[in-house]
C-alpha cells in the first residue's frame, strides 16, 4: 500500500489495521473477499525528495501507472474494484484507471473527505502529493493562485500524472464533509462550480437527501466513483489518520453514506483511504471503525448483484 503522498508515515499499514479488526467481528471477511496487492515503491521514503513542491512525485508516477492498470483490468473483467489505499494520492490513480477502462464515458466523482485535494505543485503549502489527486484528474494547475516556481523535472512528472486528456470535468465533482481547505482550493471550487455538502447540511437534511442531491448533480455522468477518506469523520472516530479534522461525520453517518451510494446503478468503483494505525492512540479504534464501514459497504454491494 503506497504512502508516498502523505506527510506522516504509517498509512501503508491501513490494510493490516482492517484485517486485525476483522478478527473480532468477521474473521472470514478477508478469506471471502479477494485481495489483489499492487506493488508499492515505499522504499523511496528513505531517500531525499528532490521535488519540494511535489514530494516523491517520481514514485507517485509509478504508482499511478501500476494502480490505474489494476483498476482498469478489474473493470474490463467486469468486476467491481473496491480500492483500499494507503494515502489519498492514490485516488488520482484510481480515477486514471477508471478512465482507462471507460475512455468515452463521463465520470462523476463523490469525494467524501475533510480536504479538497485540489492543490498542484504550484500552490501546495506542504508539497505532499495526497493533497493533489483531484487536480490531476481535472488537469488544472491553478496558475491563478501560483505561489511556487516549480522545477522542470517536477513539471515533467506532474504532466505525466495529468495524462493526455482531462479525466474528470471539474463540475462533475461533489464534496461531502469538506471543512479544511486553503484559498487556492476554494478558488477552484468557486471557479468550476463544484458542489460542497457541509456536515451541517448532512445533520439538517439527512444522509439520504444529501445522497439524492449528489446524484442529481451528477445526473449527466455515465459512471460514478466514490472515494472515502476516513478523515471525513469526526476526530472522536478518526484519530488514526494523518490529518484529522474536528466536526466531521459520525461513524453511523459514514456507514449510511457508503451503503446508500453502493446502491447507485452507475457506481463503478469505491475507495477507502488514509487509515493510519501508527497515529491511533486508542489501540486499533480507527481500524475497527473503518472495518465496520468496509464490511457494511461490501455487504450492501453484494445485495445489489
C-alpha cell at 194: 463544484
* Beta bridge pairs of residue 223: 107
Q: What share of the chain is helix, strand, coil (3-state, %, to 5)?
A: 50, 10, 40
Write down the pLDDT at residue 305.
65
Q: What is the pLDDT along the chain (305 residues), one digit of tens a residue?
A: 999 999 999 999 999 999 999 999 999 999 999 899 999 999 999 998 889 999 999 999 999 999 999 999 999 999 999 999 999 999 999 999 999 999 999 999 999 999 999 999 999 999 999 999 999 999 999 999 999 999 999 999 999 999 999 999 999 999 999 999 999 999 999 999 999 999 999 999 999 999 999 999 999 999 999 999 999 999 999 889 999 999 999 999 999 999 999 999 999 999 999 999 999 988 899 999 999 999 999 999 998 76
Q: Residue 251 contacts by C-beta under 8 Å, 6 or more apart in sequence?
A: 233, 237, 289, 292, 293
- Is the separation of the CB atoms in 9 and 278 below 8 Å? yes
Closest CA to 257 of 213, 287, 223: 213
Query: What structural domains does the chain harbor?
Result: 11-304 (3.40.800.10)
Write down the pLDDT at residue 283.
87
Q: How far is CA 277 from the centre of its chain?
A: 18
- Is the separation of the CB atoms in 21 and 296 below 8 Å? no
Write down the pLDDT at residue 34.
86
Return the ∠ at Cα 298 (arms to 297 and 301), rounded to 5°: 85
Q: Is 80 exposed, middle or buried (0-12, 13-18, 19+ CB in 10 A)?
A: middle
* Beta bridge pairs of residue 249: 233
Write down the pLDDT at residue 192.
97
The whole-angstrom separation of Cα 43 and Cα 45 is 5
- Is the separation of the CB atoms in 57 and 154 below 8 Å? yes
Amino acid at each position: 500500500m503506497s504512502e508516498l503522498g502523505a506527510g506522516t508515515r504509517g498509512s501503508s499499514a491501513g490494510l493490516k489495521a482492517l484485517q486485525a479488526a476483522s478478527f473480532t467481528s468477521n474473521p472470514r471477511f478477508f478469506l471471502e473477499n479477494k485481495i489483489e496487492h499492487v506493488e508499492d515503491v515505499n522504499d523511496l521514503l528513505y531517500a531525499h525528495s528532490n521535488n519540494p513542491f511535489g514530494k516523491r512525485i517520481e514514485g507517485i508516477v509509478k504508482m499511478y501507472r501500476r494502480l490505474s492498470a489494476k483498476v482498469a483490468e478489474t473493470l474490463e473483467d467486469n468486476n467491481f474494484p473496491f480500492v483500499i489505499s494507503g494515502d489519498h494520492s492514490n485516488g488520482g490513480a484510481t480515477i486514471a484507471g477508471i478512465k482507462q477502462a471507460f475512455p468515452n464515458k463521463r465520470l462523476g466523482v463523490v469525494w467524501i473527505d475533510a480536504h479538497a485535494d485540489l492543490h498542484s505543485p504550484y500552490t501546495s503549502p506542504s508539497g505532499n502529493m495526497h493533497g493533489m489527486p483531484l487536480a490531476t484528474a481535472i488537469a488544472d494547475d491553478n496558475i491563478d493562485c501560483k505561489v511556487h516556481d516549480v522545477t522542470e523535472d517536477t513539471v515533467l512528472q506532474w504532466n505525466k500524472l495529468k495524462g493526455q486528456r482531462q479525466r474528470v470535468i471539474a463540475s462533475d465533482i461533489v464534496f461531502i464533509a469538506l471543512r479544511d481547505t486553503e484559498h487556492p482550493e476554494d478558488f477552484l471550487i468557486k471557479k468550476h462550480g463544484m458542489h460542497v455538502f457541509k456536515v451541517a447540511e448532512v445533520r439538517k437534511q439527512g444522509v439520504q437527501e444529501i445522497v439524492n442531491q449528489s446524484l442529481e448533480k451528477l445526473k449527466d455522468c455515465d459512471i460514478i466513483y466514490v472515494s472515502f477518506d476516513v478523515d471525513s469523520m469526526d476526530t472522536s472516530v478518526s484519530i488514526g489518520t494523518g490529518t484529522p479534522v474536528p466536526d466531521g461525520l459520525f461513524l453511523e453517518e459514514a456507514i449510511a453514506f457508503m451503503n446508500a451510494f453502493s446502491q447507485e446503478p452507475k457506481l463503478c468503483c469505491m475507495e477507502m483511504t488514509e487509515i493510519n494505525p501508527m497515529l491511533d492512540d486508542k489501540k486499533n479504534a480507527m481500524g475497527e471503525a473503518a472495518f465496520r464501514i468496509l464490511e457494511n459497504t461490501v455487504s450492501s454491494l453484494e445485495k445489489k448483484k
